[in-house]
Amino acid sequence: MSATPGTTVRRPLRPVLVALYGALVPLLAALLLAAPPAAARTDAAADVPYATLTEVTDFGSNPSNLQMYLYVPESVTPNPAVLVAVHYCTGSGPAMYSGTEYASLADRYGFVVVYPSVTRASKCFDVSSPQALRRGGGSDPAGIKSMVDWVLGTYDADPKRVFATGISSGAMMTNVLLGVYPDVFAAGAAFAGVPFGCFATTDGSEWNSACANGTVTRTPQQWGDLVRGAHPGYTGPRPRMQLWHGTEDDVLRYPNFGEEIDQWTNVLGVSRTPASTDTPATGWTRTRYGGTGDQAPVEAISLQGVGHNLYAYGTMGARVLTFFGLDGSGPAPQPQPGGCKVTATTSAWSTGLTGSVTITNTGTTAVNGWKLGFTLPGGQTITNGWGATYAPASGAVTATNAAYNGTIAPNGSVTIGYQANHGGDSAAPGAFTLNGTACASA
């Protein structure tokens, strides 16, 4: 094994495959922020410098001649998680490093990031060939699997916390990786992709116009069978999936979003009817399937009026980590049992009420970012709220902090409220959890 320092790309990303990707617009130059500076310290076992993008060679079987770039933070944790960040067509591993915030998030939370990089002329990942779409078939997925295995062995990384995310071609590869290696990846996040198997071709072409145009439709069962057929006989747990798509995507058109939802809800055996629907940001519609929490089996975010280049630096990476469950080990402490107190009251009239909830941090460290869980009495439905985002509107509700009140200092308090309809029971909720920890009630 040998390792050589990589270089940071600091220029706008320009597409070179106009014939293939038509109207593919380069990622905004503003996304390409400066990468973290190189550190002098080097991992002796791996010969890989900390806190700098490094190319690793001789990492194992690599049938399609991919390059492997690696980012190991100075603060890497024991048994770290592994995130595979897969670039778009015309991109590269260094460009993905520069154009996304996963390296800086790794600095905060201590995981390792792998950036696979295509060397073929198209700079697109193989998500089309029969070899790519079956376990043991070779091509790009096999090379990426070798990269993961190398990290697992070199850094004693946690095999239960391996994740994949990608943009465009990388989103399609994320779907492929989760289908071919369900025993390797715990979850994925695909930005502007297509379902597993949708891009399949048999003539050697990398491009499938019917799929790109959103005209390939199948039943959920048929889509699910394609995934299951990639690893016949596998009966273990399947990775969770987070899906992102813009309604105005003119490269991989928006119908692919619904087909992806059909596929992964079927694969994971959950209802196609959303368990919850909310609007976490202006123009976003988020639906969750099989659960209402941050790690639901399937989470899908539709971006109204947004085109193919939907990834926004500084906005979406953190949401990916939340879905993966990788944002809980950083410097933002979570309240311990007995570290929070909640006071809740209601003021009711014939069919409605207003509720007031005060959250107090009784611990000794600040809470940075909070989610308050509680169950509304039967017959109550929230119609309006302030100080937090409430979802769903009835039953087991999660109130998520607003931008202005996400930090609760030691001995500090935040008051939020809601308006609700009721069917006769106008009582306040009786039990609360803050970031999953039970709070005392007053």
Catalytic residue positions, numbered: 168
CA distance 352 to 350: 6
End-to-end CA distance of the chain: 60
Question: Look-up: residue for tokens 């899906």?
Answer: 243
| Amino acid present at 115 | Y
Q: ω into residue 237 within 30 of 0, thus cis? A: no
